[in-house]
């Protein structure tokens, strides 16, 4: 075990591995400390096992942080072109889909981890697994990292890249927050992000298992927060699917951090039609003698007819049998903007990301060095920086890890 390296990296995830490589390339001796029995476990699960490692449309606007200037300062040094070049330089062939998502050509996250492991080995980077860092002390200009089992590593500098709290079984248990807090850092309360939502409404029960393409908007106190278009999945507990995950952060912050209950999502079940077009089509069907239960056939999944009687009852004086042109107009409006009250979110085991972490105002823009303790750098999800789905969150891990590893 190399117990006196120039740099110790706490966490062998995406940010930690790239930080180690970046540091070793500039000539530093590096040891990576990982609490699990092998490195990169969470990385293997990203992108459904395919590892959506970047997005061609990477931009500052895809991120939120307690310090809005932090992300631009990092992407300026190591942005989309540099990330692509970095992986291609490791021998990883990349492919880009029609939405701008970048994947390894093998469609396997294991390929991404493999090239990182090969480069780490080539550079002589030390790796200590089952090293659960429970304390970092700073004395005489050096750091002493202690593990729960008694092992110790002393280093000139430290990159804290221990991740957030999502998917704790894959290594992110939030332990990095306590380590950062021990140096006086403020922790913005972490909450689940890109997470399914709890909505106790009958429609979810009737339609559970049904997938649909929709537009969706999150609202807090009636005010719009996030918008997305994509898949909606009805579940017994509420709502999931890519569109729901994409608008969940604002709701999770309101519910889990701010303690609010005025949280809703508004779903457009007809994203392919305007309200006027939908009303005209429903009225035409009604005039042609279509049975009320069949009014949305061919427009929405057939399973939707199970719940249609209740919707018709809502727009036709409580009886789906008295459906007229005005009822058709109201039904179109209802299906273009169906509101669901959101009572909560699912937990950390189902959250893709963490929102919150070390206050981003407490690290130096352009370097990610702690303003409270020189020689301590923070990278990846341990910081209060959030990127969207589609390769943005991983792009932040690569970029912040590489810059932190530069040590300047």
Rounded to the nearest integer, the mean pLDDT of the chain is 94
Over residues 176-197, mean pLDDT = 97
Query: Whole-angstrom Cα distance, residue 78 to residue 404?
Result: 11
Radius of gyration of the chain (CA): 25
Query: Whole-angstrom Cα distance, residue 63 to residue 270?
Result: 29
390: left (phi over 0), alpha (psi -120 to 50) or beta: left
**Backbone phi, psi, residue 404, to 5°:** -60, -35
Domain with CATH 3.50.50.60 in the chain: 7-191+354-406
Q: pTM of whole model > 0.75?
A: yes
- Read off the pLDDT of residues 385-397 as tens digits, 9 standing for 90 and up: 999 899 999 999 9
- Residue 42 makes CB contacts below 8 A (sequence gap 6+) with 13, 14, 163, 167, 170, 171, 172
Confidence of residue 172 (pLDDT cuts 50, 70, 90): confident
CA dihedral in degrees (146, 171, 61, 110; nearest 10)?
Answer: 120
- Read off the pLDDT of residues 262-286 as tens digits, 9 standing for 90 and up: 999 999 999 999 999 999 999 898 8
Query: Whole-angstrom Cα distance, residue 408 to residue 289?
Result: 74
Flag whether pLDDT at 1 surpasses 80.
no
Helix locations, 157-241, DSSP H = 175-181, 202-206
Superfamily of domain 7-191+354-406, CATH level 4: FAD/NAD(P)-binding domain (3.50.50.60)
Nearest to 191 by CA among 346, 18, 24: 346
- Read off the pLDDT of residues 343-378 as tens digits, 9 standing for 90 and up: 999 999 999 999 999 999 999 999 999 999 999 999
From the CB of residue 294, how many other CB atoms can be counted at a distance below 10 Å? 12
The per-residue pLDDT for 322 is 59
Cα distances (angstroms) measured from residue 262 to each of 203, 255, 344, 347: 20, 9, 11, 20
For 343, counting Cβ atoms within 10 Å of its Cβ (0-12 exposed, 13-18 middle, 19+ buried), the class is middle
The per-residue pLDDT for 286 is 84
The per-residue pLDDT for 318 is 53
- Read off the pLDDT of residues 303-334 as tens digits, 9 standing for 90 and up: 888 888 788 888 876 554 556 778 888 899 99
Packing angle, helices 325-336 and 275-287, rounded to 10? 140
Flag whether pLDDT at 187 surpasses 80.
yes
Confidence of residue 3 (pLDDT cuts 50, 70, 90): confident
Query: Whole-angstrom Cα distance, residue 31 to residue 98?
Result: 39
The per-residue pLDDT for 325 is 76
For 154, counting Cβ atoms within 10 Å of its Cβ (0-12 exposed, 13-18 middle, 19+ buried), the class is middle
- Read off the pLDDT of residues 104-139 as tens digits, 9 standing for 90 and up: 999 999 999 999 999 999 999 999 999 999 999 998
């Amino acid at each position: 075990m190399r117990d006196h390296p120039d740099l110790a990296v706490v966490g062998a995830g995406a940010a930690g591995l790239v930080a180690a490589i970046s540091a070793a390339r500039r000539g530093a001796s590096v040891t990576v400390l990982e609490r699990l029995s092998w490195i990169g476990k969470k990385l293997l699960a990203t992108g459904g096992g395919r590892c959506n490692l970047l997005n061609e449309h990477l931009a500052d606007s895809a991120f939120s942080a307690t310090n809005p200037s932090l992300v631009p300062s990092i992407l300026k040094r190591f942005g989309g072109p540099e990330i692509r070049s970095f992986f291609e330089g490791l021998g990883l062939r990349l492919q880009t889909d029609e939405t701008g998502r970048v994947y390894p050509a093998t469609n396997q996250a294991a390929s991404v981890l493999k090239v990182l492991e090969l480069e780490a080995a080539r550079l002589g980077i030390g790796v200590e697994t089952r090293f659960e860092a429970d304390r970092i002390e700073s004395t005489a200009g050096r750091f002493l990292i202690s593990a729960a089992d008694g092992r110790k590593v002393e280093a000139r500098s430290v990159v804290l890249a221990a991740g957030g709290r999502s998917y704790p079984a894959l290594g992110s248990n939030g332990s990095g927050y306590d380590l950062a807090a021990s140096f006086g850092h403020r922790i913005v309360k972490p909450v689940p992000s890109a997470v399914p939502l709890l909505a106790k409404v009958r429609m979810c029960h009737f339609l559970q298992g049904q997938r649909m393409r929709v537009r969706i908007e999150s609202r807090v106190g009636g005010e719009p927060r996030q918008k997305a278009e994509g898949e909606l999945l009805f579940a017994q507990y509420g709502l999931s699917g890519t569109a729901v995950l994409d608008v969940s952060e604002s709701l999770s912050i309101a519910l889990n951090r701010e303690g609010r209950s005025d949280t809703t999502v508004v779903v457009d079940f007809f994203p392919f039609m305007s309200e006027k077009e939908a009303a005209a089509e429903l009225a035409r069907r009604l005039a042609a003698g279509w049975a009320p239960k069949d009014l949305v056939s061919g427009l929405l999944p057939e399973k939707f007819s199970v719940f249609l009687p209740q919707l018709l009852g809502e727009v036709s004086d409580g009886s789906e049998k008295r459906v007229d042109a005005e009822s058709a107009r109201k039904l179109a409006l209802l299906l273009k903007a169906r509101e669901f009250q959101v009572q909560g979110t699912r937990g950390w085991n189902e959250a893709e990301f963490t929102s919150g972490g070390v206050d981003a105002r407490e690290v130096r823009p352009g370097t990610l060095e702690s303003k409270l303790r020189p020689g301590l750098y923070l990278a990846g999800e341990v910081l209060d920086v959030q990127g969207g789905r589609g390769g943005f969150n991983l792009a932040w891990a690569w970029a912040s890890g590489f810059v932190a590893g530069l040590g300047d």
